[in-house]
Amino acid sequence: MKKTLCILLTLFLLLSAVGCAAKADAGLSNADTSASRTTAGVSTPAIEPADDGAEAENSYGTTTATKTETTTRAATTTAVAATTAAMTMAAADAMAPEWESKTPTEADGAAMTVTVPGEPVEPKEPEPQVGAGMLTAGEWKDLDDIPFWTNLLNNNDWYKLMEQRGLFANKIVPVKIVDGNGNPCFNVPVVLKDSAGKEIYKAVSDVNGMAYLLYDLDNQKQEAKCVSIGGKDYEIAKEGETKITVDSAAVEVKQLDLLFMIDTTGSMGDELRYLQAELRDVIRKVAETGKAYAINLSVNFYRDTGDEYVVRSFEFTNDIDKAIDQLSQQRTDGGGDYAEAVHLALEDVVNNHQWREDAVKLCFMVLDAPPHKEHEIAGIDERMQKTVLSMAETGIRFIPLASSGVDTETEFLLRSWAVMTGGTYTFLTNHSGIGNSHLEPTIGDYEVEKLNDLLVRVISEYCGN
């Protein structure tokens, strides 16, 4: 109905405009007739006068209309045409479908976009709201199934990875330390010695009283002879864990030092916003549920040499909101090649943070790329091994969170470092549909969980809850 009325109105206005133009033209013609003559029924052609308002004679001696009259007729005709065009355009706009762009006007503003009439515009899909509980993840602790881990490393492909990196984390001595009542003892230093009495590995017991000591990391046929606690040596069990009873009583956990080291290179751009939301939620939940012990928190970020920064380090703080704000401000950039400055990030964890002696110490490293190789940085493998050994001696549990882009070599390194420090391996999965593809790790059966719930669970378990 609306379209019909618009059409009728347009026709009416058009006819009216044409009528007005005809009348104006007739008036001008009458004026012309009085100043000209007709020969043999044919109008004498007008001659353009030399001056405005001056009359001129043609070759037949007739007088033409003045330039003023000619200009008036042209202006009238132009006005009619403009009016008709404007009305037609307005009617077209009124009848246009909703998805067809209207004729632009000044009122539409400078930001107006004009599309070709008749071509529908595909609506853009709204970006999903980013929040906690969207990413999915899994966990696999190799120290809970040491035979599985050692068999995997003896596989040809994985054995080659050990050779390439010069890291053989396949010989493990698990030790369980309890008090006289059989309760697990937390934070007890343990030393592994060879047959000559030389100290070859140092570790600290966790809340379950477990300490994991490795030997022959460089595959030089090193042998382990005994473990020592408080200067007293204990024989190593031939199979399974070595259980040792000590005189000191079990210590209750009262402190938690929680550190995050996060890769913020460009390749993390597909998941960083989601990870920030997840980690904010994890931090708040841990702070709420962990009121029984004092929490120190540190969030840190790394990229690669030549980027805006290599490691952006923040000291431990008990101001949770401050740490969350530091986390929220970060953006991805840089990188360029595949490998990143993982070795410098690890060194920052050990050397640039004040870890409390009696605290549960957890280091979560969030990353999607491996460290550089020997041909890129001479001595890098030895440097990283030394740093991880320092973490084990201090009692810092290394817990990687493998993101999209991690390959098998990176998985091998991350799991080896977790084994060396009494940590566990966590990884994002494809079940969320977020980010690029995630490597399916070489592990047994595992449960897919929401990432925030998984991390809160892991932190709680390391604190004895």
Assign residue 233 the CATH number of its domain. Answer: 2.60.40.10
**Is 312 in the same domain as 458?**
yes
DSSP-assigned letter for residue 64: P
**Is 347 in the same domain as 457?**
yes
| Residue 19: φ, ψ to 5° | -60, -45
Outline where DSSP puts E strands in 194-327: 199-204, 210-214, 226-229, 232-235, 242-245, 255-263, 294-302, 311-312
End-of-domain residue from the set 245, 270, 301: 245
CA angle 417/418/419 to nearest 5° reads 90
Task: Encode pLDDT of 102-118 as tens digits.
Answer: 344 444 444 444 444 45
Alpha-carbon gap, residue 216 to 200, rounded angstroms:
9
DSSP-assigned letter for residue 184: B
The residue type found at 251 is V
Q: Are 343 and 377 in contact (CB under 8 A)?
A: yes
Alpha-carbon gap, residue 127 to 183, rounded angstroms:
52
**Is 239 in the same domain as 282?**
no
**Is 184 in the same domain as 89?**
no
Assign residue 292 the CATH number of its domain. Answer: 3.40.50.410
β-strand pairing of 172-178 with 189-193:
unpaired
Q: Whole-model pTM? A: 0.73
Decide if 146 is inside a domain: yes
Task: Encode pLDDT of 253-269 as tens digits.
Answer: 999 999 999 999 988 88
Largest CA distance in the chain: 140
How many domains does the chain contain in total? 3
- Residue 162's pLDDT is 98
**Is 436 in the same domain as 344?**
yes
Alpha-carbon gap, residue 60 to 44, rounded angstroms:
8
Decide if 193 is inside a domain: yes
Give the domain range for residue 233: 172-245
Task: Encode pLDDT of 111-156 as tens digits.
Answer: 444 444 455 555 555 556 888 999 999 999 999 999 999 999 999 9
Residue appearing with tokens 């008749």: 118
**Is 320 in the same domain as 411?**
yes
HSE-CB for 191 with a 13 A CA cutoff: 12
Task: Encode pLDDT of 400-459 as tens digits.
Answer: 999 998 999 999 999 999 999 999 999 999 999 999 999 999 999 999 999 999 999 999
**Is 231 in the same domain as 266?**
no
H or E segment and range at residue 43:
strand 42-43
H or E segment and range at residue 38:
strand 38-39
**Is 325 in the same domain as 387?**
yes
Alpha-carbon gap, residue 295 to 277, rounded angstroms:
20
Alpha-carbon gap, residue 5 to 194, rounded angstroms:
101
Cβ neighbours of residue 147 closer than 8 Å, sequence gap 6 or more:
none
End-of-domain residue from the set 195, 220, 245: 245
**Is 80 in the same domain as 217?**
no
Decide if 411 is inside a domain: yes
Task: Encode pLDDT of 156-172 as tens digits.
Answer: 999 999 999 999 999 99
Q: Give the residue, 235 or 335, on which the prediction is more confident.
A: 235
- Residue 50's pLDDT is 40
Decide if 422 is inside a domain: yes
